[in-house]
Amino acid sequence: MDEKTILLMKGISKSFPGVQALKNVDFDLMKGEVHGLLGENGAGKSTLIKILTGVYQKDEGEIFLEGKPVVINNPRDALNLGIAAIYQELALQPYLSVAENIFLGHEITKQSKLVRFINWKKTHEEARKILKELELDLDLNTPIKELGIGQQQMVEIAKVLSKNAKIVIMDEPTSSLSEKETEELFKVIFRLKEKGISVIYISHRLEEIFKICDRVTVMRDGEKIVTLNPKTTTKDELIRYMVGRTLEQHYPKIETKKGEEALRVENLTRKGLFENISFTAYTGEILGIAGLVGAGRTEIVRAIFGADPIDSGKIYIFGKERKITSPQDAIREGLVLIPEDRKTQGLILIQTVLDNIVLSSLPKYKKGLLLNYREMTNESFDLIKRLNIKTPTAKKVVKELSGGNQQKVVIAKWLTQKARIFIFDEPTRGIDVGAKVEIYNIMNELVKNGASVIMISSELPEILGMSDRIIVIHEGRVTAEFSREDADQEKIMKAATAAG
C-alpha cells in the first residue's frame, strides 16, 4: 500500500433481505484527494458510504485507515477515526448560533469541581480560527436559520473540521445550491485539499466530477466498475460505465394497443419545484417518467393527484378539464396514485390486509347505514387471489408482510375502485426480483384492460423495459421525450443530467 493512501476498503460485501447491495467492492482514497463516486440510484454508493460511516455493518471485507485495520461499529467510531459525512439534509440546529452549531456535541468547556461550563471565549476563538482557515466570512452569533443553504453547508463543513476529520464525505452537496454557492463550495473543497483532508464526493452532475475530482470511481448494481482519472475520459464514457450495456433483468413487456387520451396536463407549475410541465398519457400504454431522485417527478404526480397544490396549469381527464384540489377529486375522476413510500404513504401498517384493501371505497360496501363485512371480505379474497398476495389470511396485519406483498396491497386498494389512470411512483423500490416481475405483470394486465399507466422510476432498465413512451424530468422541467424504439440508457441519462 502506498504511503499516501489514507483509506483502503477491500472486498466489501453487504446484503439486505432479498438484495445484495454490495458485491466485493474495493475502494481507496489518497491523502488530500477529491475522489468522485458515481452511479445510478441503487448502484450501492450510499450503502458503501454508510458502511464507512458506521451506519451499516459490512458482511464481508476489511477497512484500513492509514495502513492499519479498523473496526467501525457505529457512527461514533467513524467520527473518532476522523471520518465525517455531510448529508443532503443538513443536521444543524436552526435556532442555535454558528459557533454553537460548530461545537455542538463536543463543546469546549472549563471544568470546575462540580459542573462543566461552556467556555464561550475559547469556543468563539476556535470557531473563528476554523472559519478563517476556510476563508469564510460568517458572523459567529448568527442563528443558523438566518443563513442561506450554501452558508449552512459551510457551517456543516466547519463543524466537521472542528472534529479533526481526515476524510470528509459529501453526498450530493450541490443539489440545492445556486451556481454561485456551488463555486464557493468548490473553493472550500480546494482549501480542504490543501490542508491534506481527503474528500469523497458523490454527485450525479458529471460537470462537477470533471471540475473538482482527482479520480472517480463508478459503481453499478452493487459492484465497482472502474476507477479512473477524469482527465483521461469523457462524459459519454462515464455514462456508459454507469448504465452498463445490457438489460440484465427480465421485463415481461407485452404488446398493447394505444387507445384514447386519458390524462393530459398543460403547463403545470409549482414555484420552486416544477415548471411548465406538459405531457399526455393514453389508455393501453405505459408512460415512463425518468429522471434523477429530486428532479421533481414525485412532486408533479402528487400535484396531479391533488395531494399538493399547484400554482398554475390545467389538467384534462379523458378530454375534459378537471379541477383537482384533493385526492378525493382525483379518485372520483378515476385517477389514482401508488405513492413512492408504501410504508408512510400507502398503507395503514397497523391494520389488516382487509382493512387496507377496502379503505378507499368503504361507502361502496354500505348496506343501509352499516358496512357489509361479507362483501368486503369477498372482494378482498378475490383481490388477494388475483394479485397473488402472499398472506395466510385477510386479517393479517400489513406490517408483517414482505415489501412486495405490501405493494400489492396498495395496488389492490385501487382495484376496488373503477380507476382508469394509475400512477405508480417507484413501484418496485426495495422489493425482490420475483415480486418485481409480478408488479410488472399487474401493470400489463391494467393496460391490456384499457387503463392508462404512468410509472415513475429511477431505475433506467425498468423504464426502458416496461415503458411504451418515456419522458425525462430534470430540475422540474421536461427535458426530453422518447418512444420505446428511440430510447436508450445513454440518451435518457443525458437528458436526466442535462449533460452534453
Partner 1 sequence: MLEKAKNTQEAAKINWGKVKNILSSAGVLIALIVLSAILAILSPYFLEVENLMNIARQSAINSLIAVGMLLTILTAGIDLSVGSVLALSSVVMAILIKNMGINPLLGMIVGLGVGAFLGFLNGIMLTKLHLPHPFISTLGMMNIARGLALILTKATPISGFPPVVQFIGAGSIGVVPISFLVVIGVYIIYHIFLTRTPTGRYIYAIGGNIEAARLSGINVEKVLVIVYTLSGLMAAVGGLVLVGRVNAAYPLAGLGYELDAIAAVIIGGASFMGGVGTVWGTLVGAIIMAVIRNGLNLLSVSPEWQTVIIGSVIIGAVYLDVLRRRMETKTK
Region of 12-20, 194-202, 203-211, 336-344 interacting with partner 1 (CB under 8 A) = 336-344
CB 235 within 8 A of CB 499: yes
Which of 51, 347, 451, 456 forms a contact with partner 1 (CB under 8 A)?
Answer: 347
What percentage of the chain's residues is helix, strand, coil (to nearest 5)? Answer: 35, 25, 35
Q: Does 351 bind partner 1 (CB under 8 A)?
A: yes
Contacting residues for 134 by C-beta, under 8 A, at least 6 apart: 154, 157, 158, 161, 188, 191
11: part of which helix (H) or strand (E)?
strand 5-16
Nearer to partner 1, 339 or 465 (CB): 339
CA gap 171, 38 in Å, rounded: 11
Region of 212-220, 232-240, 392-400, 487-495 interacting with partner 1 (CB under 8 A) = 392-400
Location of C-alpha cell 347505514: 369
Which of 360, 405, 444, 452 forms a contact with partner 1 (CB under 8 A)?
Answer: 360
Region of 131-139, 184-192, 234-242, 361-369 interacting with partner 1 (CB under 8 A) = 361-369
Q: Does 301 bind partner 1 (CB under 8 A)?
A: no
Q: What is the DSSP letter of 69?
A: E
CA gap 128, 387 in Å, rounded: 62
Q: Does 331 bind partner 1 (CB under 8 A)?
A: yes
Shortest distance (Å) from residue 378 CB to partner 1: 10
Nearer to partner 1, 330 or 492 (CB): 330
Q: Does 254 bind partner 1 (CB under 8 A)?
A: no
Which of 36, 334, 346, 404 forms a contact with partner 1 (CB under 8 A)?
Answer: 346
Could you give the angle at which helices 489-497 and 235-243 cross, rounded to 10 degrees? 120
CA gap 26, 29 in Å, rounded: 11
Nearer to partner 1, 319 or 392 (CB): 392
Q: Does 402 bind partner 1 (CB under 8 A)?
A: no
Which of 62, 146, 400, 486 forms a contact with partner 1 (CB under 8 A)?
Answer: 400
CA gap 328, 106 in Å, rounded: 50
Q: Length of the chain, please?
A: 500
**Mind spelling out the 3-state secondary structure of 12-58?**
EEEEECCEEEEEEEEEEEECCCEEEEECCCCCCHHHHHHHHCCCCCC
Shortest distance (Å) from residue 366 CB to partner 1: 7
Q: Give the x/- contact pattern for partner 1 in 305-324, rule: CB under 8 A.
A: x-x-----------------
Q: Does 371 bind partner 1 (CB under 8 A)?
A: yes
Q: Does 374 bind partner 1 (CB under 8 A)?
A: no
Shortest distance (Å) from residue 384 CB to partner 1: 10
Burial class (CB in 10 A: 0-12, 13-18, 19+), 487: buried
Helices (H), 416-457: 433-448
Q: Does 393 bind partner 1 (CB under 8 A)?
A: yes
Shortest distance (Å) from residue 339 CB to partner 1: 6
Location of C-alpha cell 455514462: 239
Q: Does 339 bind partner 1 (CB under 8 A)?
A: yes
Q: Does 36 bind partner 1 (CB under 8 A)?
A: no
Nearer to partner 1, 54 or 334 (CB): 334
Nearer to partner 1, 123 or 380 (CB): 380
Nearer to partner 1, 141 or 328 (CB): 328
Nearer to partner 1, 247 or 359 (CB): 359
Q: Does 271 bind partner 1 (CB under 8 A)?
A: no
Site for partner 1 in 89-128 (CB under 8 A): none
Q: Are strands 335-338 and 421-425 parallel, antiparallel or unpaired?
A: parallel
What are the angstrom distances between the C-alpha of 277 and each of 7, 264, 301, 314? 45, 10, 11, 10
Rg over alpha carbons for the chain, rounded to the nearest Å, is 25
Shortest distance (Å) from residue 345 CB to partner 1: 5
Which of 118, 254, 359, 433 forms a contact with partner 1 (CB under 8 A)?
Answer: 359
Which of 349, 437, 498, 499 forms a contact with partner 1 (CB under 8 A)?
Answer: 349
Region of 9-17, 137-145, 232-240, 346-354 interacting with partner 1 (CB under 8 A) = 346-354
Q: Does 386 bind partner 1 (CB under 8 A)?
A: no
How many CA atoms are closer than 13 Å to the CA of 143, on its beta-carbon side? 6
Q: Does 395 bind partner 1 (CB under 8 A)?
A: yes
Shortest distance (Å) from residue 331 CB to partner 1: 4
CA gap 452, 483 in Å, rounded: 16
Beta partners for residue 170, in sequence order = 86, 201
CB 83 within 8 A of CB 52: yes
Residues in contact with partner 1 by CB under 8 A are 305, 307, 326-328, 330-331, 337, 339, 344-351, 355, 359-360, 362-363, 366, 369-371, 373, 381, 392-395, 400, 413
